Amino acid sequence: MSSVIVMNLIVIVLFYFYNILNIFAILPIMYANIESILDKVVQSHTLCEKEILYLLETKDTKKLFSAADEIRKKYSGDEVHLRALIEFSNYCKQNCLYCGLRRDNSHVTRYRVEPQDIIESARKAKNYGYKTIVLQSGEDSYYTVERMAKIISGIKDFDFVVTLSIGEKTFEEYKAYRDAGADRYLLRIETTDETLYNKLNPGMSLKNRMLCIENIKKLGYEVGSGIIAGLPGQTLESIAKDIVYLKSIPVDMAGIGPFIYHPDTPIENIKGDFFELSLKIITILRLLMPDINIPATTAMDTLNKEGRLIALQSGANVIMPSITETIYRKYYEIYPGKVCLGATPADCRYCIENKIKSINRRISTGKGFHIRQSGL
């Protein structure tokens, strides 16, 4: 037999075995049902991408949400951690197509809060019993490493845990913030679909976003990441991959928010139930990572006035009430319809407390670090 025929035979045999193996991989999913997948994930906290996809597609959401609520209760208990959010600048050098703060949006009135005033807002938050301050902004070069270090150490003087959410930086910058006392960093991956990420975030790249998250992890921060659910062009298959990615880091905190169209952005306005999609993602993350912190994000309240409470009953255990001074709130318009724009930091604190009590949960008095109860 000539060597060409032998090679062809080998290729045919390999192709045959490859298909057989694939059929065996798909069979369990074809015969899976919600009960068997939930049984598996509740026992092992693992799922393959196809099983995640099955849960993302399921109409049987009641079982999914209540399984996540039980896991949340078992591993995180009934306490809700509050993180006080200061949105201190809406200047941004980036141009993400979905975001109202993007550089090219000329309709925004831009503002910056001076370092001393940021520290003063944090000091006042002590009186409301907050243990964590989250500093969030667009990517604003006004806040040099020195200025940020001054803000962080000034806030640490009040014995706060400090979380930063100020975008992509170099390793050295992340290190300087960490040296100044920052404890946690939130940087959503937004989507792991590289083509989509690069299209929606001009001038940025998925590779660099992932590198930033790796660097944050290396420096010993608690890592927060997450995605926007419902981005135009996003598929459920790509969301399943996002979930696998978040588990692979693994994150200490996962923030999921529905996409909300902003009319002053160039992105397409697509319709869809991104509230339910976000809830499904939250529940799957809770089932896969039983003891991480998962916020009920403010964007959930924009789509449903009880949105954050529903998220708290579907796996979430964190709320981030705004303590941004009222004068600035309407200008931090990432998306329209943000709740509590006219409220003061005190209003937000008491409103949240009442909401949490209304579902028989209580506000945590601890610092709310990620405690690995599940051994994962």
Q: Which does 160 bind (CB under 5 to 8 A by kind): ligand SAM, ligand SF4, none?
A: none
Per-position x/- string for 310-339, each x denoting binding to ligand SAM as judged by CB under 6 A, each - no binding:
------------------------xx----
Per-residue x/- track, 214-243, ligand SAM (CB under 6 A): --------------x---------------
Answer for the pair 286, 294: CB distance below 8 angstroms, yes or no: yes
Give min distance, CB of 200 to ligand SF4, in A: 9
Residue 281 is a binding residue for ligand SAM (CB under 6 A): no
Dist CA 203 CA 84 (whole Å): 31
- Please say whether the dihedral angle defined by the alpha carbons of residues 120, 145, 265 and 310, taken in this order, is positive or negative: negative
In whole angstroms, the minimum distance from the beta carbon of 272 to ligand SAM comes to 13
Contact pick of 183, 190, 242, 291 for ligand SAM (by CB under 6 A): 190
Give the three-class secondary structure for 185: strand
Question: How far, in Å, are 47, 236, 283 from residue 41 at the CA level?
Answer: 6, 19, 11
Closer residue to ligand SAM, CB minimum distance, 71 or 92? 92
Q: Does residue 184 bind ligand SAM (CB under 6 A)? A: no
What does 102 interact with, of ligand SAM, ligand SF4, none (CB < 5 to 8 A by kind)? ligand SF4
> Using CA atoms, how far apart are residues 11 and 124, in angstroms rounded to an integer?
71
What is the nearest approach in angstroms of ligand SF4 to the Cβ of residue 101?
Answer: 4
> Could you say which DSSP state residue 127 is in?
T
How far is it, in rounded angstroms, from Cα 119 to Cα 153?
Answer: 9
Please report where in the chains the tokens 């910058």 appear, as a residue: 173
Number of H helices, E strands in the chain: 15, 8
* Residue 259's binding partner out of ligand SF4, ligand SAM, none, with CB under 5 to 8 Å set by partner kind: ligand SAM
Tokens representing 362? 């209580």
With contacts defined by CB under 6 A, name the span among 111-119, 121-129, 239-247, 252-260 that binds ligand SAM: 252-260
Residue 165 beta carbon to ligand SAM: minimum distance, rounded to whole angstroms: 5
Question: Smallest Cα–Cα separation from 130: which of 307, 298, 323?
Answer: 323
How far is residue 374's CA from residue 376's CA, in Å, rounded to a whole number? 5
Does residue 299 belong to the site contacting ligand SAM (CB under 6 A)?
yes
Where do contacts with ligand SAM occur on this chain (CB under 6 A)? 98-99, 101, 136, 138-139, 165, 167, 187-188, 190, 228, 257, 259-260, 262, 299, 334-335
